[in-house]
Chains A and B, each alone.
Chain A
């Protein structure tokens, strides 16, 4: 029987419980107050404030930037789905054992080496400007499409490795047990390994999800008007940077709740699996 911590909490006096809270509040106020005072004391601060944090400019820029952000979100979500599937396929290729599957394993290894080693921007430029310039009949010409393809190919390489680490983290005994029960290789993966592996990789995957959202802005080199590009358009017109702050706020609004949600899901999942054991 493990001892549950937190049992003794109730006996602690109110004063002892409030002291740490007060100390943290005071230290936060002091530290950030000092920073704010230091920044605000700069001679140029009123002008910087006007050019970066002007409320009127933010309001004026908001519709355009929000429209661009919707474009960003669409690319992001569609890419996420494609990456999730394609990377899983590659990871399964790598996990297949046996001589017949050697070509698949080699393909997955070469793919990851290649696409992980190339900067995403380079791929976006190569695909987005290169393929349409070939003028091949029957292929779409949109920069948006080819830029999306480049992002998917690039990020799938990273995601494949994340899946693989999850698969390899599942104890070998699991695979052996499944074999002993007479499961085929595919069934072992499907019912024993993958469900555990996917659970393990959620935090690492979330990193990629957030990183992808930022890299969607790379597609602006192909003319796509995402949130960052719309913010730049406003800045170019007025020389005012408040539009970039609007874009920053939108990005944070999208990613922070996502991070909190996955943390919550993880905690719930762990509690369910470990059933109170710590």
Chain B
């Protein structure tokens, strides 16, 4: 009975608040007028999207680290599950200037100071190690130092911070650059390159399922310039602080750590190369 009473009180208060401050009360609620579609949280991701970030290329199912994170965030901000709308936008579309047909994009986009000058990111939601992926019989498999890694032929996908890593951290200036991760793995299988780097979760999935013959041969240190993954918004989107509050709450409650444990498990027995 008391429970019902509470609900009534809350409802009454809500109605009063709506009458008193019609617009301000709308801010930071699912009906925030600054949303792309007030009442909905519109999120873009790539098509196709890859495990372990999104399972089965179906973000609506909420399975996979990023898909689950979006639903957890939506719930934290007060949206119902059915109020989350997904749109397909490639990385190129997400980084283009101008207004966007969604609230934010989530597709493992790394936050870097250079990018933050012209685009608006949320706080970082995940930081991952970089992993070396190579065929077991390649020279890279037995590498002990950066100098050993330099002797190999490298390939990376365009639009990733993997390229910057290979070029600036490992000091390799002739890495082949492919359209996407799929092209990199094609070249790896065809023997056109010896090795690639990728975020550890991506690498784990690739070596279990996409290119089973390849192995993670080493973990590399983080690139100091690469702050981690962030949500990408249209430039100076006013809802960013609100979304960041939601992310902070999820971190506080340990939700993000749980999701990482569930979807992004690392294999602890991989050697590290640090210099």
Interface residues, chain A, CB within 8 Å of chain B?
44, 47-48, 50-51, 129, 132-133, 135, 141-143, 220-225, 229, 232-233, 235-240
Contact = CB atoms under 8 A, between A and B. Distances in A.
B159 interface: yes
B118 A239 contact: yes
A236 B115 CA distance: 9
A43 to B, nearest CB: 10
Interface in B172-205: 176-179, 183-184, 186-187, 189-193
B186 A133 contact: yes
B118 A238 contact: yes
B119 to A, nearest CB: 5
A50 B118 CA distance: 9
A189 B60 CA distance: 67
B164 A237 contact: yes
8 contacts: A47-B235, A129-B183, A129-B190, A135-B190, A232-B159, A236-B95, A237-B114, A238-B118
Interface residues of B, number: 30
A44 B183 contact: no
Contacts of B186: 129, 133
A239 B115 contact: yes
Contact of A51 (B118, B160, B176, B183): B118
A50 B155 CA distance: 31
Contact of B97 (A47, A233, A236): A47
B98 interface: yes
Contact of B179 (A132, A133, A221, A239): A221
Most buried by A among B117, B158, B159: B158
B191 A132 contact: yes
Contacts of A129: 183, 186-187, 190
B92 to A, nearest CB: 8
Contact of B190 (A50, A133, A224, A233): A133
Nearest to A232: B158
Given A133-B186, A225-B177, A233 B163 contact: yes
B179 A220 contact: yes
B158 A229 contact: yes
Given A224-B176, A233-B177, A132 B192 contact: yes
Given A133-B186, A233-B177, A48 B158 contact: no
Contacts of A221: 178-179, 183
Contacts of B183: 129, 221-223
B192 A142 contact: yes
B95 to A, nearest CB: 5
Given A51-B97, A143-B176, A240 B187 contact: no
A190 B98 CA distance: 59
Given A129-B190, A143-B187, A48 B97 contact: yes
Contacts of A132: 187, 190-192
Interface string B211-243: 000000000000000000000000100000000
Contacts of B118: 47, 50-51, 238-240
Contact of A238 (B115, B163, B235): B115
Given A133-B186, A239-B119, 9 more contacts: A48-B98, A50-B118, A132-B187, A142-B192, A221-B183, A236-B160, A238-B115, A239-B115, A240-B118
A135 B188 CA distance: 12
A44 B97 CA distance: 9
A237 B95 CA distance: 11
Nearest to A131: B190
Interface in B59-117: 91, 95, 97-98, 112, 114-115, 117
Contacts of B95: 235-236, 239
